[in-house]
A and B are shown apart, each in its own frame.
Chain A
Amino acid sequence: AQSVTQPDIHITVSEGASLELRCNYSYGATPYLFWYVQSPGQGLQLLLKYFSGDTLVQGIKGFEAEFKRSQSSFNLRKPSVHWSDAAEYFCAVVGYNFNKFYFGSGTKLNVKP
């Protein structure tokens, strides 16, 4: 069965520090993978996506993610975090028929000044 695991519920980093949010997926075929960000009181905004090709994908707001098939992972990274990055981040996978998105439980990011 398809599933997405985000092992970190909360992460706190200092402003300017690097960030890595973990995501592991379970899917029988090549997945389509996404990272979404949700600010308080807002909907989910797409940060980046991986469909095929280069396994390192760039997104908005300086985020990137790397698809590692051997580890079934799609970790999100940012070299230098800004206070405005404080939000909740969701990893998601969608099946080949594009009809069912599976979301992780989310990781809440807190940024210390």
Chain B
Amino acid sequence: DAGVIQSPRHEVTEMGQEVTLRCKPISGHNSLFWYRQTMMRGLELLIYFNNNVPIDDSGMPEDRFSAKMPNASFSTLKIQPSEPRDSAVYFCASSLGPEAFFGQGTRLTVV
């Protein structure tokens, strides 16, 4: 298996623009997580899905953030409108059971 695949690896966008981050989990995994990593706040869990259903989105910072998982092999994290403080590395992870596997991350820069 190729592991968790995230795209794009890097994204630079202007403030106010919509940004969509994508994730393909490992085949057969039933849980998917979105994390945000910054120097100030470390790794923060934004949302996680189980069997494509959002279970806990309490970490989503505000309404500008939304996440979907239309099927078992694809998830998106959307920021609309984006702001400079959203600049961070966004990680997707998937799991089947107690071990999570992480993607390489998307480095988002909002200017």
Contacts and interface: CB of A to CB of B under 8 A. Distances in A.
B95 A98 contact: yes
Size class of the contact patch on chain B: 20 to 34
A45 B45 CA distance: 17
Size class of the contact patch on chain A: 20 to 34
Interface in A4-18: none
A43 B95 contact: no
Contact of B104 (A42, A90, A103): A42
Interface in A32-68: 32, 34, 36, 42-46, 49, 51
A99 B31 contact: yes
A106 B43 contact: yes
* Dominant SS among interface residues on chain B: strand
Contact of A51 (B45, B93, B98, B101): B98
A99 B56 CA distance: 9
B42 A94 contact: no
B102 A44 contact: yes
Contact of B45 (A46, A49, A100): A100
* Dominant SS among interface residues on chain A: strand
B41 to A, nearest CB: 9
A75 to B, nearest CB: 19
Interface of B: 4, 31, 33, 42-43, 45, 48, 50, 55-56, 91, 93, 95, 97-105
